[in-house]
A and B are shown apart, each in its own frame.
Chain A
Amino acid sequence: MARLARLALSEEEVELMAGELSAVLDHIARIGELDLDSVPPTAHVVDVTGALRPDEPRESLPREVALAQAPAVSNDGFLVPSPQA
């Protein structure tokens, strides 16, 4: 699960969290007792449909502003370690 979440966790962290999360999941499991088969799910609580904006070109953030907060930059782009070092 930690790999899926892209989180590096130490052995101790995994152990501690497994205990804590099991306890939380025990509480959460109570919604399993409800009869919900005929109930539709709610993804969004307010009725909004077709909230589209006009498809017009707009100025984007200037490149140097977008890059200003990056930990590493190279050739006007974000610099990252190689995916396959």
Chain B
Amino acid sequence: MKAHLSRRYLFSASHRLHSEAMSSEENQLTYGKCNNPYGHGHNYVIEVTVSGTVDEKTGMVCNLTDLDGFIEREVLARYDHENLNTMQEFAKDVPTTENLCIEIYEIVNRGFRHAHLERVKLEETMMNSFEYAGSGV
């Protein structure tokens, strides 16, 4: 039997939305308050969904300690209490929650081997969330 397992994780980070491809006015017009040069922060929630056959010996899609350990090491340790604009992956791309969601998906998709990654959902606030399930989906 195939089941989907979802797990939520919290981290906090700051960012500023500003595109080098736009003029100051255009940045202000596009990003509004998020263009504040000093930046601002959020409590982000990541919801990772993986899928697979439920192992008859363990009753699990994958061992939660493997998923928690991976996300802690590869995602939370990387982004928690950081300024996203200072990070290599956002040297060119604007650290919108869309782009951050894609980055996190790629990290999990590249490195997590205990179950199939279905999607990553990233909540920026209680009111905004974004989902990515790989290119073409």
A binds B: no
Interface residues of A (CB under 8 A from B): none
Interface residues of B (CB under 8 A from A): none
